[in-house]
Amino acid sequence: MKQKKKQISRNKLLALAGTGWLFDAMDVGILSFVIAAIAVEWQLTPTEMGWIGSVNSIGMAVGAFGFGLLADRVGRKNVFMMTLVLFSVASGLSALTTTLAAFLVLRFFVGAGLGGELPVASTLVSESVAAHERGRVVVLLESFWAAGWLLAALIAYFIIPEFGWRVALIITALPAFYAIYLRRKLPDSPKFETEGEPKQSVIEKLKSLWSKKYVRRTLMLWIVWFTVVFSYYGMFLWLPSVMVLKGFGLIKSFGYVLIMTLAQLPGYFSAAWLIEKAGRKFVLATYLLGTAASALFFGNADTLPMLLISGALLSFFNLGAWGALYAYSPEQYPTAIRATGSGMAAAVGRIGGIFGPLLVGSLLAAGYDFGIIFGIFCGTIVIGVIAVVLLGTETKQMELE
């Protein structure tokens, strides 16, 4: 009977945190379609399109760092709710903008909320689940990202052509009301509540990340996060626009990206199954190598079947790798600096997310083709694989410090 109660509690936590994660993904996903739509309406250059994605990532870097520190101070649950409200309200307000400058300012605040929520949510779930199933549950938490992207693709396909991109962004403001529900229903991390407010200052926390005990782990995480986020935002925020630039109409492109997005779910579920069997390092390295190969394939695809197959493989492997990375990151540090460590790694990753979309925009403006651009992403991901293999420590089913 006790086991059953524990199971329900774990599933409830997964559902509550996962729904917030879904809304986060919906907002990021919507942006990729909105970029394609407003590029036509506002007659944006590829460089200006790249800046939209990059400003979002600047906000995510600031949010991941700041809210990660705050979560180690005031608790995971409180910060989770704050970030949810921040990105929802800012996203809804961005629907009212009429200039690129105003849109970019609000996208910064959207990014800050998004960047803060993700590492805090994964830390909360990681600290609340038993060691033998922790990795699988965190990857399943990440699978809500695929559901959010699917929801974004559906909104883009049915709403944007008929009602415009502004209505789509207004829909993304609705998750703010979910924070009211979370306040009543979501428990905070038992580890955080048991150990109480940490006594370390911000400087002491940052020094701890680079102490002799954690320096290899921190270096590994920063490299992997940078390469993964750089390539993800460079590729996926441009996905609908890439299809348009390859000669497909806007509505058809949205439909094709929706098909590619469906492959994210089996990517997550297969990673969730493997992570407690083969370990974190194996899953992360293998799925990243699959991402690298798929990126090369997609960049050089010149027919619709090749684009759809390579795009689906890209979704499958890349999002499976994301799930493993979110499971792996909180396991590197003790409770007092866990959210700070995960948030700092994510913040460094978001710096990569700034340059990825800008790189695509600038290289397209300079006349480079997609084969070269996606080849750069392929090489970058391989660097991440090397870091995992050489510097990573296996944490499968280990008790958290």
**Ramachandran sector of residue 247 (left: φ over 0; alpha: ψ -120 to 50; beta: rest):** left
Point out the residues of the chain with pLDDT beneath 70: 1-8, 195-199, 250, 397-401
Give the pLDDT confidence score for residue 161 in this predicted structure: 87
> What span, in angstroms and rounded, lies between the C-alpha atoms of 197 and 195?
7
Give the pLDDT confidence score for residue 287 in this predicted structure: 96
- Amino acid in the structure at residue 124: L
Give the pLDDT confidence score for residue 216 in this predicted structure: 94
Query: Tokens 């007092």 label which residue?
Result: 336
Give the pLDDT confidence score for residue 195 in this predicted structure: 65
Q: What is the DSSP letter of 189?
A: P
> What span, in angstroms and rounded, lies between the C-alpha atoms of 261 and 239?
10
2-186+210-391, what's its fold? Growth Hormone; Chain: A; (1.20.1250)
- List alpha helices for 164-214, DSSP H: 165-171, 178-185, 190-195, 202-209
Give the pLDDT confidence score for residue 273 in this predicted structure: 87
pTM: 0.78
Inter-axis angle of helices 304-328 and 100-128, nearest 10? 50
Give the pLDDT confidence score for residue 125 in this predicted structure: 84
pLDDT tens, position by position, 182-240:
777 777 777 777 765 556 777 888 888 889 899 999 999 999 999 999 998 888 877 77
Sequence spans of domains, the chain: 2-186+210-391
Give the pLDDT confidence score for residue 393 in this predicted structure: 85
